C-alpha cells in the first residue's frame, strides 16, 4: 500500500531499505520510545525487519521525504490490523523531528485505515514522551484515561507507563473549524 501526503510518501519497506532504516533508528533516543525495537539496535535487526514477511493486516510503511536528491527514509509508521482494534506506532529519525512529519504521516495512515473500513484505532506513548501524545491529539486521537505498564524492549524489557489513546474513524473532521464531529451530526449554519 502506498500513500502520498503533502510532503511525504508512505510506502512498504523493502529488503534493500535496511541500511537507510538502520541509520535512522540506530539512536538510543529513538529506540527507547519504542516497545518492540531492541537496544542496542544492530544491522541484523534492520535486515530482519526489512525482509520479514508479514500478515497483510500488519501494515508497516517507510516514511520518505521526496525531493530533488531522492526520497530518504525519515521514519516508519504502521498499524497491527490483526488485533480487534489496530494498534498504531511510528518513529521519526533525529534531525527530522519538530517539523510536523509524524503528524502528517499519521494522518496519512488514518486515511488508509478509513479506506480499509477500519472503525477504530488505538495507540499509546510512554509518559516520558509527551511529544508523541501531541502528535496523536493533533490527528484526532483522544486519551482513554488509561495508563498501562508496557514492556519497552529498547529499555531492556522494563515496564514503562504508557498513556493510551483511541480514534473513532466513524467521526469526520470538520476542516473549516478544526473540530471532530460525529459523521451523522449535522453542521449548524
Instruction: Answer yes or no: is 189 within a domain.
Output: no
Beta carbons of 64 and 12 less than 8 angstroms apart: no
Instruction: Answer yes or no: is 188 within a domain.
Output: no
User: Which structural domain range is residue 31 located in?
Assistant: 3-182
Name 55's bridge partners.
none
Which CATH number fits the domain that encloses residue 148?
3.40.630.30
Instruction: Answer yes or no: is 32 within a domain.
Output: yes
Q: Exposed, middle or buried: residue 185 (CB in 10 Å: 0-12, 13-18, 19+)?
A: exposed
Please give the tally of structural domains in the chain.
1
**Mean pLDDT over the full length of the chain:** 90
d(C-alpha 106, C-alpha 179), whole Å: 17
pLDDT at 188: 38
pTM, full prediction: 0.88
Instruction: Provide the grid cell at 69.
Output: 536528491
pLDDT tens sequence across 51-101: 998 887 789 999 999 998 899 999 999 999 878 899 999 999 999 999 999
Instruction: Answer yes or no: is 70 within a domain.
Output: yes
d(C-alpha 157, C-alpha 34), whole Å: 11
pLDDT at 171: 74
Q: How sure is the predictor about 160, in pLDDT bands with cuts at 50, 70 and 90?
A: very high
d(C-alpha 71, C-alpha 64), whole Å: 5
pLDDT at 1: 86
pLDDT tens sequence across 6-42: 999 999 999 999 999 999 999 999 999 999 999 999 9
Instruction: Answer yes or no: is 35 within a domain.
Output: yes
pLDDT at 174: 41
Q: Are strands 9-12 and 87-92 parallel, antiparallel or unpaired?
A: unpaired
Instruction: Provide the grid cell at 127.
Output: 509518559
Amino acid at each position: 500500500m502506498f500513500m502520498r501526503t503533502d510532503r511525504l510518501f508512505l510506502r512498504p519497506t523493502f529488503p534493500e531499505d535496511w541500511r537507510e532504516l538502520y541509520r535512522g533508528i540506530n539512536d538510543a533516543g529513538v529506540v527507547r520510545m519504542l516497545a518492540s525495537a531492541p537496544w542496542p539496535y544492530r544491522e541484523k535487526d534492520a535486515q530482519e525487519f526489512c525482509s520479514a514477511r508479514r500478515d497483510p493486516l500488519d501494515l508497516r510503511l517507510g516514511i520518505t521525504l521526496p525531493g530533488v536528491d531522492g526520497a530518504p527514509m525519515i521514519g516508519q509508521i504502521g498499524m497491527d490490523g490483526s488485533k480487534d482494534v489496530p494498534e498504531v506506532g511510528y518513529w521519526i529519525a533525529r534531525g527530522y523531528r519538530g517539523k510536523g512529519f509524524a503528524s502528517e504521516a499519521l494522518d496519512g495512515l488514518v486515511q488508509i485505515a478509513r479506506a480499509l473500513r477500519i472503525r477504530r484505532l488505538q495507540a499509546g506513548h510512554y509518559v516520558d514522551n509527551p511529544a508523541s501524545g501531541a502528535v496523536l491529539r493533533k490527528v484526532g486521537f483522544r486519551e482513554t484515561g488509561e495508563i498501562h505498564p508496557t514492556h519497552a524492549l529498547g529499555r531492556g524489557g522494563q515496564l514503562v507507563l504508557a498513556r493510551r489513546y483511541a480514534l473513532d474513524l466513524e467521526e469526520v473532521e470538520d476542516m473549516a473549524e478544526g473540530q471532530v464531529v460525529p459523521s451523522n451530526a449535522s453542521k449548524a449554519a
